[in-house]
Amino acid sequence: MQGSHPSENGEHWMALEGGADGSLGDGPFTSRFIGIGASVPERRLTSDELMASTEHQTDIDLERLTGVRERRVVAEGEDSYTLALDAARDALARAGLAGEDLDVLIVSSISRYVGGLRMQLEPPLSLSLKEALGAHRAMSFDLSNACAGMMTGVFILNDLIRQGRARVGMVVSGEYISQLGVNAAREIRTIQSDQLASLTLGDAGAAAILERAPEGAPGIEVAGFTTLAERSRLCLAFPAKVGAGVSMYSDARTLQEVGIEDTVPLLREALDQAGLGFDEIDYFIPHQTSARAIEKGVKEFSESMGGAPKHVVVTVDEFGNTSSTTHFVALWKYLREGRFAKDDRVMLLSIASGLEVGIVIFKVDQLLERYGHGH
Amino acid sequence: MGTVIEATATAKAQERSMSPGALEAVDSAARSCLDRAQRTAGDLDLLINAGVYHDKILSEPAFAALIQEDIGANLSQPPGAGHGTFSFDIYNGGCGVLTGIQLVDGMLASGTAELGMVVASDMDPEPGVSRGFGFPAVGGAVLLSADASRAGFTAFRFDTFPEFAELFQGYVDWQEDAGPGPDHHGRNILTVEIAESYTVRALECAESTVRELAAAQGLDLGAVDLLVATASVPGFADALASRLGMSAERVAPLPDDLAGAHTAAPVLALESVPLETSGTALLVSAGAGITVAAALYQA
């Protein structure tokens, strides 16, 4: 074996990629986001409406319990593929690019529904998206990593761009997952149900385009990932017995508790690598599972880190948990609403089934101008 | 610095096992692969699963996370020491293993990882219920690391031919009248459909990609010592060799009973030859899409 193990060069548990300071790995370049797109269906479903559809009387106050007031759900003709395609087109428009400019196309949907609730395993969704976007040059594939899918795609693409193996690439996902809530509503009886988390899900597509940043320009500062597989069986989803689509069974309480506990040292690791304190993060975008989980997580992280981020982004109230797209739907919303300043630093934190923990820290910078702000 | 194959291993699903399935097969292959390289699971930085047809057709978590747990690769973070393992799945049909190898190659080159494993397995999740599933139940694993003294993988090329997307389909959908008993009015069923014309189209596409790769790399196909070619259908490698003007002796064979293996097929073929002494190897996979992956490996 040649060289020393990455952990010996700085003692880190996560697979880590550096950025502008070039402190990690051999990448001579920095990557940056240049387009964030999203597609949220028009149709809204409130938690009250969803709970009124349960087959059994439950007395669960879902909105109070999770903070999810409503979620978007697909209409006839919409599915994972159409959500992903619309988001991809939105991101390309924001970036001022065409599909043919893409070197890499990564699709990271957990749900792979095409033509309604037909789950397509082969060919990969990336094949159809590549064709529809005209991304003829792009190396394409699908990946699956639960709710950490898009973040995993960003991690991979960041690595490729940093080395110069790709100049521009897209990570895209379409999640038609409201059907899990429909299936859960048929079976759920009490607040203790292992399908409770399915009731928080909403549909959305999201896309992120990364490019090689000009020399000296800000971009992704640190990206890190790890899988704490001791927790791999806390949440399982597979084709439903009660109807079309998927059912998901999770020990949500344990997942939340261990997710927060296990993430603390990883968060510290990523911040240390970036040379930052938690209070130097301007916007913290965690995975959107429930308002309570976010509040609890931020409290524990802040106590452990000795400081809190300036803003915590919560979108679960209006979109629900949109799975792999959640960070980028939130980012898209805040970009459109002009919430960020040019120098703001954002941290995306993924805590997902697996147990996957992923972190991306970046500067907003030129993204603002692409949404009509920052001039 | 080249990405080299440290070891390969395969394992059939054991029908008499307590838990026969794609997971058991791939767990076994992964353990054997690590043993052959005299590595431990804790050495792994990266674990990528490229199998498509899992037990229960699990969509969450990544199947790779279950494999990581089963083989005991850095399951939880001990305070202040060591390194973790990062696991995820890729879906690229019969090209999944080569796609995974390319991703590991990238992370080895950047120093993000030092040891990566690509695994794959497929098994009929519901024998007797699924439709058209004909792939043998087998798992495979490839262990990869960086070596400054060897060339290893020197080139990759991926092409897609969407005009042939209908020729190879795998999907799950709800069949209204397929369930037994009064409480069931239907069930979700896996269907695999491979058109008769798939093989010949896959050969055409694969030949095109290989010739493009050879042209780009200035490679004389006559100088290729070993052809590792798979497309999830029997006889593909010999037919491709013939189209490329290569002799049958240079083809890495698949065992007769596993000739139609799906995502693990490239590993089965690699296992059939002494790769270390094979000179220049050309790896070609074709799959649904039609997608073709090709790579050059200097042993």
ipTM: 0.96
Cβ distance A25 to B112 less than 8 Å, yes or no, reads yes
Q: How far is A262 from chain B (nearest CA, A)?
A: 8
Asked if A197 has any chain B CB less than 8 Å from its own CB, the reply is no
Does the beta-carbon distance from A354 to B62 stay under 8 Å?
Answer: yes
Q: Which residue of B has its CA nearest to A262?
A: B77
Q: What percent of chain B has pLDDT over 90?
A: 85
Looking at the partner chain, which of B59, B88, B186 has a beta carbon nearest the beta carbon of A238? B59
Q: Cβ separation of B91 and A144 shorter than 8 Å?
A: yes
Task: Note the pLDDT of residue B180.
Answer: 58
Residues in B touching A165 (Cβ below 8 Å): 106
Residue numbers in B near A118 (CB within 8 A): 171-173
For residue B91, the chain A residues in CB contact (below 8 A) are 112, 121-122, 124, 141-144
Reported as a single tens digit per residue, the pLDDT across B205-218 is 999 999 999 999 99
Span B82-104, average pLDDT: 96
Which residues of chain A, if any, have pLDDT below 70?
1-10, 19-27, 374-375
pTM score: 0.96
What residues in B contact A14, CB-CB < 8 Å?
Answer: 84, 86
Q: Give me the CATH code for the B2-150 domain, please.
A: 3.40.47.10
Residues B133-148 have a mean pLDDT of 96
> For the segment B215-271, what is each residue's pLDDT rounded down to a tens digit?
999 999 999 999 999 999 999 999 999 999 999 999 999 999 999 999 999 999 999
pLDDT band at B13 (very low <50, low <70, confident <90, very high): confident
- Using alpha carbons, list the distances in angstroms from residue B96 to A180, A213, B144, B156, B228: 28, 30, 15, 13, 15
Cα of B170 to nearest chain A Cα, Å: 5
Interchain CB distance below 8 Å, B88 and A122: no
- Best of A2, A120, A122 to disrupt the B interface (most B CBs within 10 Å) is A122
The DSSP line for chain B is: -EEEEEEEEEEE--TTSSS-SHHHHHHHHHHHHHHHTT--GGG-SEEEE--SS-GGG--BS-HHHHHHHHHTSS-S--TT-S---EEEEEE-GGGHHHHHHHHHHHHHHHTS-SEEEEEEEE--SSTTTSBS-----EEEEEEEEEETT--EEEEEEEEE-GGGGGGEEEEEEEETT---STT-S-EEEEEEEE-TTHHHHHHHHHHHHHHHHHHHHT--GGG--EEEEE-SSTTHHHHHHHHHT--GGGBPPPPGGGTT--TTHHHHHHHTS-GGG--EEEEEEEETTTEEEEEEEE-
Chain A nearest CA to B7, separation (Å): 14
Neighbour count for residue B265 (Cβ, 10 Å): 32
| Interchain pair A233, B66: CB under 8 A | yes
Please state whether B18 falls in left (phi above 0), alpha (psi between -120 and 50) or beta: alpha
In chain B, where are the structural domains located? 2-150, 156-161+196-298
Q: Which residues of B touch A162 (CB under 8 A)?
A: 110
| Distance from the A25 Cα atom to the nearest Cα atom in chain B, whole angstroms | 5
Inter-chain touch A232–B287, beta carbons under 8 Å = no
User: What pLDDT band is residue B275 in, cutting at 50, 70 and 90?
Assistant: confident
Matching fold, domains B2-150 and B156-161+196-298: yes
Asked if B88 and A262 come within 8 Å (Cβ–Cβ), the reply is no
pLDDT at B89: 98
Tell me whether A118 touches chain B (CB under 8 Å): yes
| Domains of chain A (ranges, CATH numbers) | 6-368 (3.40.47.10)
Q: Give the chain B residue nearest A137 (alpha carbons).
A: B159
* Alpha-carbon gap, residue B89 to A108, rounded angstroms: 10
CA pair distance A357, A228, nearest whole angstrom = 8
pLDDT at B176 over 90: no
Tens-digit pLDDT profile for residues A204-245:
999 999 999 999 999 999 999 999 999 999 999 999 999 899
Look at residue A375 in the predicted model and tell me its pLDDT: 57
pLDDT of residue A4: 39
* Chain B residues closer than 8 Å to A230 by CB: 69, 75-76
> Mean pLDDT, to the nearest integer, of B179-194?
79
CA closest to A351 among chain B residues: B61
Smallest CA–CA distance, residue A181 to chain B, in Å, is 15
B287 contacts in A (CB within 8 Å)? Answer: 122-123
For B215, residues 6+ apart whose C-beta sits below 8 A from its C-beta are none
Say which CATH topology domain B156-161+196-298 has. Answer: Peroxisomal Thiolase; Chain A, domain 1 (3.40.47)
A chain contacts of residue B50, beta-carbon cutoff 8 Å: none
Contact B162 A128 (CB under 8 A): yes
Average pLDDT, integer, range B185-193 = 93
